[in-house]
Amino acid sequence: MASSPGGSSAYRLRRRQPAGTAGPRIRPLSSAEIASYDHLAPDLAARVRVVRLPMIPGRYVGITLGRFVCLDRNLPPNGASHLLAHELTHARQWAELGVVGFLARYLGGFGRGVVRHRRWHPAYRDIELEQEARAQADAWTQRRGGVGA
């Protein structure tokens, strides 16, 4: 066996990570997660990738772009995360609406909210796709007996 240049640079990257951010930068959902997040079809869940970003602008801790769920933290892959349940609803919305459909609805809703509220955060809260993601994640948490992180 031989180590490739790519392998050794990946090792150096891992060594430089601050505490609490160990683990792969991008990963598929575990089988426990695919089984747990039952508001997402298993075939779509199997294509999702969880990406850890060093930071996400503003007060946000997660953003989903298509099937890529980007988070500012590592989550244990045990299928017990309200945050991941929320973001996976967005992954389903992306899959159902497509890029153009998702962005039109998301940004359209955000624009209407900004006109209505003149403030960013209430405008974000008002976006229909966000309301659906919150409702789906809350319902998912309820089904699990109210336990979620």
Binding site for Zn ion (CB under 5 A): 130, 133
Q: Which is nearer to Zn ion, 52 or 92 (CB)?
A: 92
Whose tokens are 């960013």? That residue is 120
Q: How many distinct helices (H) and strands (E) make up the chain? A: 6, 4
Question: Which of residues 33 and 130 has its CB atom nearest to Zn ion in the complex?
Answer: 130
CB of 63 to Zn ion, least distance (A): 8
Name which of 10 and 107 has its Cβ closer to Zn ion.
Answer: 107
Cβ atoms within 10 Å, residue 13 = 10
64 has which bridge partners? Answer: 69
> What is the smallest separation between the CB atom of 133 and Zn ion, expressed in angstroms?
4
Q: Which of 33, 147, 42 is nearest to 92 (CA)?
A: 42
DSSP 8-class letter at 132? H
Closer to Zn ion by Cβ: residue 7 or 119: 119
Position with the least CB separation from Zn ion: 133
Nearer to Zn ion, 71 or 133 (CB): 133
Measured CA to CA, the distance from residue 25 to residue 72 in angstroms comes to: 10
Q: How far is the CB of 41 from Zn ion (least distance, A)?
A: 19
Residues 88 and 136: their CA atoms lie apart, in Å, by 9
Q: How far is CA 128 from CA 1, 29, 109, 111, 145, in A?
A: 53, 26, 7, 12, 26
Please state the closest distance from residue 7 (CB atom) to Zn ion, in A: 36
Min dist. Cβ of residue 130 to Zn ion (A):
5
